[in-house]
Amino acid sequence: MTCGIDWAETHHDVALVDADGALVAKRRISDDLVGFEMLLELLAGAGDSADDPVPVAIETGRGLLVACLRATGRKVYAINPKAVDRYRDRHSVARKKSDAGDALVLAHILRTDRASHRPLPADSELAQAIAVLARAQQDAVWERTCAHNKLRSVLREYYPAILAAFATKHGGIMRPEARVILAAAPTPSTAAKLTKTQLRALLVRAGRQRGIQAEVDRLHAVLRGKYLQHPPLVEQAFGAQALALVRQLDVACANAEELAAAAVAHFDKHPDAEIITSLPGLGSLTGARVLAEIGDDRSRFADARSLKAYAGSAPVTRASGKSLTVMHRRVKNQRLAAAGYVWAFASLTASPGARAHYDRRRTAGDRHIAAQRNLFNRLLGCLHHCLDKRQTYQENLAFPSPAASSRASRNRRWGPSPSEAA
Q: What is the dihedral of CA 125, 131, 132, 136, to 10 degrees?
A: 160
Q: In Å, how far are 81, 308, 343, 410 from 397, measured between CA atoms?
A: 43, 20, 19, 17
* CA distance linking residue 35 with residue 180, whole number of Å: 51
Instruction: Write down the pLDDT at residue 328.
Output: 82
pLDDT category of residue 404 using cuts at 50, 70 and 90: low
List, for residues 237-251, the tens digit of each pLDDT value.
Answer: 999 999 999 999 999
Separation of first and last alpha carbons in the chain: 63
Instruction: Write down the pLDDT at residue 88.
Output: 85
> pTM for this structure?
0.86
Segment 127-148 shows an average pLDDT of 96
List, for residues 266-293, the tens digit of each pLDDT value.
Answer: 999 999 999 999 999 999 999 999 999 9
For residue 120, give the DSSP letter. P
What percentage of the chain exceeds 90 in pLDDT? 74
List, for residues 164-211, the tens digit of each pLDDT value.
Answer: 999 999 999 999 999 999 999 999 999 999 999 999 999 999 999 999
List, for residues 102-134, the tens digit of each pLDDT value.
Answer: 999 999 999 998 988 889 999 999 999 999 999
- How many Cβ atoms are within 10 Å of 354's Cβ, its own excluded? 27
Instruction: Write down the pLDDT at residue 419.
Output: 46
- Picking from 4, 6, 77, 2, the residue whose alpha carbon sits closest to that of residue 47 is 2
Instruction: Write down the pLDDT at residue 422.
Output: 40
Order of strands, sheet of 2-7, starting from the edge strand that comes earlier in the sequence: 23-30, 11-17, 2-7, 56-58, 76-78
* CA distance linking residue 326 with residue 319, whole number of Å: 9
Sequence ranges of the domains in the chain: 2-120, 130-265, 274-405
List, for residues 203-230, the tens digit of each pLDDT value.
Answer: 999 999 999 999 999 999 999 999 999 9
CATH 3.30.420.10, domain 2-120, yes or no: yes
pLDDT category of residue 405 using cuts at 50, 70 and 90: low
Segment 72-99 shows an average pLDDT of 84
What percentage of the chain exceeds 70 in pLDDT? 95
